[in-house]
Structure 1
Amino acid sequence: MNFRRFKIGYRTLKTAVGASIAMLIAMFLNLDYYSSAFILTVLCIQPTKRKSVRAVYSRIIASIIGVGFAFVFFEGISYHPLVFGLILILFIPTLVSLKFQDGFVSSVVILLHLFDSKELTWSLLWNEAQLMAVGFGVALLVNIYMPSIEKDLKSFRLEIESLYSKIFHEIAFYLRNGDSDWDGKELVEASEVIEKGKALAYQDVENHLNRRQNLYYLYFDMREQQFEIIERVLPKITALPVNISHCYIVADFMEELADHVHSGNTANKFISKLDEVKEEFAKMPLPKDHENFLAMAALYQFIEEMDQYLHIKRSFVGFNMKKKTASKES
C-alpha cells in the first residue's frame, strides 16, 4: 500500500494560524458563536490572493441573501427545522443562479446562528457582522503574503528549453543517419512541463490583484504553440522514403538551432538562416524519381513549419522588459 509523504504545506500552516487568530479575536470581542470565526477563516483562505478576495465577496453577498431569507421565513412563518429545510430548497438555487454558490457553507453558518437564537434582532445581526469581519478579514490578511514562485517558473523555462534542444538534436541525427533509437520521451516530458509551467504562471497572475497577465504564462503559451508544430513535423521526417542530400542541409540547420534554444538568441537570426536553406534548396537539381520527389516535398513542408515555429517565437514579448526591443529566443 502506497502512502504519500507527510508534509505540512505553507497554505496548511496559514490556515491553522489564521483560523486560530480569528477565533481568539472573536473571543476577545466577546462575540456569541465566536468559534464560527474559525470556520469562516478556513473557508476563505484560498491558494491565491485573487481567489481569496472572490471567496470573501461571494460569502458576504451569500450571507446577506441568507439573512433576507431568514427574515422572510423564520420571522414570517416559524423557527422550525422544516422551515429551515424550505429555506435551503429555495436558497441554494438562488445562490447558483446569482453565481454566489461558493458562499453557501458560510451563509448556512450564519443561518444556523439566527435559527438558534429564535429571534432576529439588531444586536444579533451586529454580532454576525463582526464575526464575518473577523473571519474574512483575518483570511485576507494571512493571504497578503504569498511565497515567490519565480525560481520554479525559471526552472520550468530552462527545462523546456533543454527538452526542445534534445528533440532538435534527435531530428538532426535522424536526418543524417536515416535511423535512430530515440524513444521520444522528451516529447512527453515537454508536454508535461508546459502544462505545469502554464498552471504555475496562472497562479502567479492570481496572486497579483492588479495584474491581468504574466510574462511566463505568455512564454509557456508560446512554447505550447511551438510544441504543436514539433509534433506535426516529426512524422514528416520519420516518413522520408529516402535519404537525399537536402537532409544534410536541414540537419545542419537543426543542429545549430538545437544549440541555441535559450534566452540569449534572436529568432530573426534563424529565420534568416532558414531563408538561406530555402535558397540552397532552390539551386539544387530536381528529383530524379518519385521517392526523391516525395522526400524533397516532405523537407520543404518541414522547413515551412520550422519557419512558422520561429515566427511564433519572434512574436513573443521577451523577458527583458527594460529594453524596448526585448530579446527573443529561438
Structure 2
Amino acid sequence: MKLNVKPYSIGYRTLKTALGVVIAISLAQFLELDYYVSAGILTILCIQPTKKKSIRAAFSRFIASIIGIAYAFVFFEGIAYHPIMIGILIVLFIPLLVTLRFQDGFVSSSVILLHIYNAKNLNLDLLSNELVLMMVGFGTALAVNMYMPSIEKKLETYRYEIENLYASIFREIVVYLREGESSWSGKELMDARMLLEKAKALAYQDVQNHLTRHENKYYHYFEMREQQLEIIERILPKIAALPVIVDQTDLVADFLEDLAEHVHSGNTAYRYISKLDIVKDNFAKLPLPGSHEKFLAMAELYQVIHEIESYLEIKQSYKGFHTKK
C-alpha cells in the first residue's frame, strides 16, 4: 500500500508560531510571572491563518478566561479545591461558552483555571499574574500575526490559468464544430472547476487578512468565471448533440475561435455581444435547412448562441480590473 506523504516544508505560520512562543515566554519570564511557560501555550492557541481569525481567537480566549476565573472563584474559593469541583465546573462551564459562542476559548481558559487550582488561593496577586500572562500570550500572537505574506501573485497565477483553460475549452469546441468529432477528454473542464474552488478560497483568505477590507476583486472575478463555467457546461451537451454539420456551424465556430483568443480579465464583452448580433443576423440570412436533421442541428446551434450571449452578459456585468502580466 502506497502512502501519500506530503513534502516536508516550513511555512510562514510555523515560523510565526515559533517566533511568537519565544517572544511570549521570554517576555513573561522577564516580567517574573508565575507559570510563564504558559504564555507560549496561549500564543500558540491564537496564531491563526488570517488576521481577522487571530483577532477573533484572542478576543474569544480572553473573554472565556475571564469567565473561567469567575467560575473558579465560585467553585474553588466558594466550595473547595478538589478534583470533583474541576469536573463540575467544566460540566457547567462548557455549555455557557457554547451559548455565548466562545467555545474556542475553552482550552486557553482551562490553562488559567488549572493555574488557580494549583495555587489553591485566588488572591489579587494571582489574579494580576493571570491577567498579565493573558496579555503577554494573546498580545504576542496578535503582534506576530499582523504580518501576512502577499498572495496577490498567486491569485494572478490562478487567474491566468483559468483564462487559459477557458480558451482551450473554446478551441476544443471549435474543433468539434468544424470536424464533427474530437478526441478531447474534457480534462480542462474538470481542471477549471477545481482551480476555481482553490482560487475562491484563497481570495476569501485575502479578505480575512485585511481588517478594513470586506471584499476582494479577485473573489468577484472568480465568482464571475464560475457562473460562466456553468454556461459552458450547458453548451457542451448541445454541441455534442448536433446530428449533422450545417452551414450555420461555421458562423458559431468562427465566433468561438475569436472569443478563445481574447479570454482575459478586461471587460470587452460589449464588443463580442455586438459581434454576436452580427452572427445572429447572418444566421437568419442563411437558407432554411432541407432536412429534419439539419433543422434540429440549426435549432441546437441557436440555443448555443443564446447560451454564449448569457456568457457574455455575465462578463459585461463585471467591472473588470487591470493587472500587469
TM-score by length of 2: 0.96
Residue 93 of structure 1, aligned match among 70, 86, 95: 95
CA apart distance, 1:277: 1.0
1:264 Cα offset (Å): 4.7
One-letter amino acid of the structure 1 residue matched with residue 14 of structure 2: T
Q: Secondary structure at the match of 1:88?
A: helix
2:250 and 2:58 mapped to 1: Cα distance? 62
Pairing of 1:297-312 with structure 2 (within 5 A):
297-312=299-314
Once the two structures are overlaid, the 10-residue window that deviates more, 29-38 or 298-307, is 298-307
Give the corresponding residue for 1:273: 275
Aligned-residue CA RMSD (Å): 1.2
Report what 2:112 is aligned to. Answer: 110
Query: In the aligned structure 1, how far is the partner of 2:266 from the partner of 2:81?
Result: 71
Matched, 1:124 2:152: no
* 1:193 aligned onto 2:190: no
User: Aligned partners of 1:126 and 1:265: how far apart in 2?
Assistant: 59
Instruction: Name the amino acid aligned to 1:75.
Output: E
Aligned pairs for 1:44-59 within 5 A: 44-59=46-61
1:265: Cα distance to partner?
5.7
Alignment TM-score, normalising by the size of structure 1: 0.95
- Give a deviation string over 1:197-250, Cα, whole Å, max 9, x none: 111111100000000000000000110010111111100000111111111100
Aligned to 2:151: 149
Residue 6 of structure 1 deviates from its aligned partner by 1.3
2 CA distance for matches of 1:31 and 1:298? 77
Q: List runs of 5+ in structure 2 lacking aligned partners.
A: none
Which position in structure 1 is the counterpart of 2:184?
A: 182
Are residues 1:254 and 2:252 paired?
A: no
* Gapped regions of structure 1 (runs ≥ 5): 322-330
In 1, the alpha carbon distance for the partners of 2:128 and 2:28 equals 13
**What percentage of aligned pairs have identical amino acids?**
64
- 1:32 is aligned, of 31, 34, 37, to 34
Q: Which moved more, 1:296-305 or 1:202-211?
A: 296-305
Match of 1:230 in 2: 232
Q: Which residue of structure 1 aligns with residue 166 of structure 2? A: 164
Question: Residues 130 and 23 (structure 1 numbering): CA distance in 2 closer, same or farther, change over 3 Å?
Answer: same
Shift of the alpha carbon at 1:289?
A: 2.6
Whole-angstrom CA distance in 2 between matches of 1:264 and 1:64: 52
Figure out how many residues of one structure are paired with residues of the other and give that number. 321
Counterpart residue number, 1:71: 73
Question: How far apart are the structure 1 equivalents of 2:278 and 2:161?
Answer: 30
